[in-house]
Chain A
Amino acid sequence: MTTTTTAQSRSPARTTSASSTLAASAKFKAFALAFAISFPVLYVICDLFNLPMFTYHPATNRFDLWWGPARSGEGPAMYWYGWTATCLIAGTILGLLGTLLPESAVKKIPLFLVWLVPILAVPVLVYSLMPFWTK
């Protein structure tokens, strides 16, 4: 086995190897499953209870930590960035916790939850937008 390969030939092989390693990893599967199932649940909670990680004020380019009201004369406040950030961080934490589960427990998680949970979350979000439908 040779140990001297050119950088050109080594690079794609390394990428493929990293990709296939991740695709074969039981821990990555556990992470991705926990992330996918928890994300829409977290998002609905953030939306309904208004829990953004930060608030952005586009007119003044200002950030508030957590939820902040729109200020008079400073334009609207945006919460979507903060909700998404909350879900990405909390979902990552839950995903990492999922990697601690034994493989036998991960195998028992029904895979259909990864698409069913977000679909079930949609009517809740549609309901939360009721003022737009009824005005």
Chain B
Amino acid sequence: MPISVNTFWTILLIIHGLLAVALLGALTHQALAVLMPVRQVAGGVGFVTRFRAVTGPAYATAVCVLWILTFIMGAWIYTKYRIYIRIPIEQYGFWKTQGFFELKEHLASFGLGILPIYWYFWKNPQNPEYGSARKWVTVWLAFMCWFMFLVGHVVNNVRGFGS
């Protein structure tokens, strides 16, 4: 069954968004686990404790794969964004919105640069030498992910595909 061009790009945008949600969840779990590690999980603990009581190393490869997949999907739909979204945004005069989107694309690339060492740190979880760097690299990735997610959400609200 043929689909319209608009539907095609909307599906890609939704896939990009879903991948971003999965990445955001994984990184938030991991970041909270390193910022507020749970020393001992006992019965009757609350939601927040359970949220941060994850095994960080188990997320490392998934985070790398999700970041790359989300990046590829974002880079793909960016070709259409440049023409059908950015030009109207500029015509409306939403310059700051566009500025934040530019920053989002910069941070997406920064994430690629940090992934190999992030993966390496998490694959050596017993090495205390990497503890601090592992923590802050993870927090930095989580911060970038949250920033990009929120900016993407706002830009979609300003002028989503099909609008």
CB contact between A29 and one of B110, B120, B139, B140 (< 8 Å): that residue: B120
The answer to whether residues A32 and B117 also contact, given A111-B133, A125-B103 and a CB cut-off of 8 A, is yes
For B99-111 the 0/1 string (1 means CB < 8 A from A) is 1001101110110
Q: Which residues from 73 to 127 on chain B have a C-beta closer than 8 Å to any C-beta of chain A? A: 75, 78-80, 82-83, 86-87, 93, 95-96, 98-99, 102-103, 105-107, 109-110, 112-114, 116-117, 119-120, 123-124
Q: Give the residue among B61, B105, B129, B139 with the most A Cβ atoms within 10 A.
A: B105
Q: Which B residues have a C-beta under 8 Å from some C-beta of A?
A: 61, 75, 78-80, 82-83, 86-87, 93, 95-96, 98-99, 102-103, 105-107, 109-110, 112-114, 116-117, 119-120, 123-124, 129-130, 132-133, 136-137, 139-140
Contacts of B95 in A (CB 8 A): 131-133, 135
A133 to B86, alpha carbons, bound, how many Å? 16
Among B114, B117, B124: residue with most chain A CB under 10 A: B117
Looking at chain A, what size class is its interface with the partner chain?
Answer: 35 or more
Chain B: which residue is nearest A134 at the CB level? B95
Residues of A within 8 A of B79 (CB): 56, 58, 78
Secondary structure at the B interface, as helix, strand, loop or mixed, is helix
Are B117 and A132 in contact (CB-based, < 8 A)? Answer: no
Residues from chain A with Cβ under 8 Å of B103 in the complex? 122, 125-126, 129
A114-B114, A129-B102 given as contacts; is B136 within 8 A of A23 (CB)? no
Across the interface, A87 reaches (CB within 8 A) one of B86, B109, B120, namely: B109
- A to B CB contacts below 8 Å, 6 in the list: A22-B123, A24-B124, A40-B113, A78-B78, A80-B109, A112-B136
Nearest first, the 4 A-B pairs at minimum CB distance are A39-B113, A132-B99, A23-B123, A32-B116
Contact B106–A19 (Cβ < 8 Å):
no
A35 and B82 contacting across the interface, CB-CB below 8 Å: no
Within 8 Å by CB of A114, from B80, B109, B124, B133, lies B133
